[in-house]
Chain A
Amino acid sequence: MQALVVVAHGSHLNPDSSTPTYRHADTVRETGVFDEVATAFWKEEPSFREVLRTLESETVYVVPLFISEGYFTEQVIPRELRLESFDVEQWDSDGTSASSTTLEASDVDKTIHYCGPAGTHDAMTDVIVRRAESVTDNGDVGDGFGLAVVGHGTERNENSAKAIRYHADRIRDSGRFDEVRDLYMDEEPEVDDVSDHFETDDVVVVPLFVADGYHTQEDIPEDMGLTDDYRTGWETPAEVDSTRIWYAGAVGTEPLMADVLLERARDAGADVGSAVEQVRRDTRAGAD
């Protein structure tokens, strides 16, 4: 038997924090390729500490639903899951290239394939693009459009900016959008002056966050000038300094995220059959 465990941050205060995690886990569960699909949280239950013992499967794929490599993926999750022989060197990562490592957890008799975070997988690039399609309601969006990928910045974790740049570069290289920029909340180039960074009249702004919360629903919309007060909401698109801003909200809420979880597990050796293709197809807006 094989199990997928999606591990995420969760929140003591905001019930929406875990919503995307649940939703993507449900999507994977429905494909039926895993005997068990579980979620676990740093701030909610089951905790990282106690999730493995709830599983029957002897082979477990653990995928962190985090945006970048760093404190959580390298310290908190392995420690709390009791992956005692974990050493970050096993990932041999340049900051965005962790794939997976195979370990044992000291409280259960199982093989644990501990994967790199969802946010740095190549398939995440497609999720950002899909998010742009969703918010513009245009499956071919790109021509005449700029795309901004937005992150925290390096303040807390330098890999966080690396992940943003990584995907921005990949999308730019694909040539689909007229312009692509990586912008940040607490460093240059800043998201505040989004229209200064683009020539195009239309710009899609996709924050690379797992869930909607304070940053994506209050901070960024106000900083960008979409609204003076987040509580009153904003238009999509909203006109700021004669640029039309299509603000997408957290990329992690895009249904295609489920595909990244699947691909992470597949890369680590999970048998996922044709689930990747199925999820890619079924999560498209308007799919049955």
Chain B
Amino acid sequence: MTTPAVARLSSAVREEPVACDGLHAEYDEDSYRLAIPEAGVERETLTESEFETLAADHERYVQNWAYWNEDRADADEAFLRWLEAADETAIPDRYESLRAGTARSWGELRIEVRLVDGKRRYEIRHTDDAGRTDLDRHDEPLDARSLVTEDDDGRYRPLKTAPSLPHGWVFPDLTGRACVETVEYVYPATVANWYLERQGELDVDHWEATIGRQSGIYGVVQTWNRGDSYEHVNWVAEACCADSQCVKRREWEYDDETELDVPGGDGAFPCREPCSLVIAAARKWTRLEGEQEQRYEFTLTPSEKEQVEEIIDAVADGRAAEIREADTADPANRYRARYLRAKRFDEDDNLSGTPTETSE
């Protein structure tokens, strides 16, 4: 019996030779050739009906070709193939895992591809939500845009790749095209840049070049090029681009020749230049770093000094809101902080009574 995919193959092969994932087919002067080496198939001079019968015996190869023969952008195709490890896994094993469902992560997304009635369907959810059955179902890729605007606590997410993706939703049944579209609403431009990187064509703009381009109110960041600016940029990258803050893998460095000391992270997709959030933060730091250091004297007990450090850590790690009300063992606990303030701040909110301006 000739399935539609097989009929498509024989008509396609009359136009030009087909080669896809171990399937090779050719047509020349009324005769067909079909080769699937890993299945031990190697036949020439086949009639159309012999060709179609043989192809139908290896239907998975034909279906696989039919899917990858659909019209789509190069980057989308590479991404969808990557999802099922198409370049590394031969058809029998691949179809085996597709039938069970095979998943990859992309930032905080878990993307699963599986075969349903012989067709690839894609499912997207938060990686943390793997296995959950109580998720809100969505079918429109566009829904993703508003789903990811706020985090679980309802706070606006200005950086789409911050690891604060909200939970509780699932796109259970997407086509390949809709899958890529959904991913792009969650993490814009990541597929395009990932693809360029795979092609060895990612156009990275390092810190120096990106800053050099700025104008208007951001032009001020250019003045941040004193001798120690390399150090500053390390701190910026550590503050903003660490995996705990952003799921992109930072590929930009100080400049063409000077790498930063902090690692770029393990993200699946690259960051090709400092983002607008980092530029805006750098503008603030540029101003702050223009100040001269001064020596202050504070009086604290050893525990209080450690407490100050713990409070900074808790804020920097986004842990402050999680500290339990009555957990006074935690130095960053609210009551502990309020006690410290009551004890060590004077009426002008100066720590241990030491004024900020020491010039009087």
Contact = CB atoms under 8 A, between A and B. Distances in A.
Interface string B30-48: 0000000000000000000
A34 to B, nearest CB: 15
B280 to A, nearest CB: 6
Interface in A41-57: 42-47, 49-51, 53-54, 56
Contact of B203 (A11, A75, A107): A107
A178 B241 CA distance: 57
By size class, the interface of chain A is 20 to 34
B189 A12 contact: no
A26 interface: yes
B160 interface: yes
Contact of B158 (A43, A75, A76, A107): A43
A53 B160 CA distance: 18
Contact of A53 (B158, B193, B280): B193
Nearest to B218: A76
B215 A75 contact: yes
A50 B158 contact: no
A43 B188 contact: no
Interface residues of B, number: 27
Interface string B166-196: 0000000000000000001000110111001
A56 B177 CA distance: 13
Contacts of A165: none
B330 interface: no
A11 B275 CA distance: 13
Interface string A48-70: 01110110100000000000000
A54 B156 contact: no
Interface in A1-51: 11-15, 22, 26, 42-47, 49-51
Interface in B260-290: 272-273, 275-277, 280
A22 B196 contact: no
B169 to A, nearest CB: 18
Nearest to B161: A45
B188 A45 contact: yes
Contacts of A107: 203
B145 interface: yes
Contact of B145 (A12, A22, A53): A22
A71 B253 CA distance: 29
A76 B213 CA distance: 10
B189 A15 contact: no
A13 B276 contact: no
A172 interface: no
A12 B277 contact: yes
Nearest to A42: B276
A12 B215 CA distance: 18
B216 A53 contact: no
Interface in B136-160: 142, 145, 149-150, 156, 158-160
A90 to B, nearest CB: 19
Contacts of A53: 189, 192-193, 196
Contact of A54 (B145, B188, B273): B188
A54 B189 contact: yes
Given A44-B158, A46-B188, A50-B188, A12 B193 contact: no
B213 A45 contact: no
B73 interface: yes
Contacts of B184: 54
A24 to B, nearest CB: 14
Contact of A49 (B73, B196, B273, B280): B273
A50 B189 CA distance: 6
A51 B276 CA distance: 14
A79 B158 CA distance: 23
A43 B158 CA distance: 8
A44 B272 CA distance: 15
A13 B213 CA distance: 24
B165 to A, nearest CB: 14
Interface in B194-209: 196, 203
A46 to B, nearest CB: 4
A15 B216 CA distance: 24
A71 B189 contact: no
A26 B142 contact: yes
B160 to A, nearest CB: 5
Nearest to A53: B192
Quick one: which of B158, B184, B203, B213 has the most chain A CB within 10 A? B158
B276 A47 contact: yes
Given A43-B158, A44-B158, A50 B192 contact: yes
A46 B216 CA distance: 21
Nearest to A51: B189
Contacts of B193: 50, 53
A15 B196 contact: no
A266 B122 CA distance: 37
A120 B73 CA distance: 35
Contacts of A44: 158, 160, 276
Contacts of A76: 215-216
17 contacts: A12-B158, A14-B156, A15-B149, A42-B276, A44-B276, A45-B159, A45-B160, A45-B189, A46-B188, A47-B189, A47-B275, A47-B276, A50-B193, A51-B188, A54-B189, A71-B216, A79-B213
Given A45-B160, A47-B276, 14 more contacts: A12-B276, A12-B277, A12-B280, A15-B156, A22-B145, A42-B276, A44-B276, A50-B189, A50-B272, A51-B188, A51-B189, A54-B188, A76-B216, A79-B215
Interface of A: 11-15, 22, 26, 42-47, 49-51, 53-54, 56, 71, 75-76, 79, 107
Interface of B: 73, 142, 145, 149-150, 156, 158-161, 184, 188-189, 191-193, 196, 203, 213, 215-216, 272-273, 275-277, 280
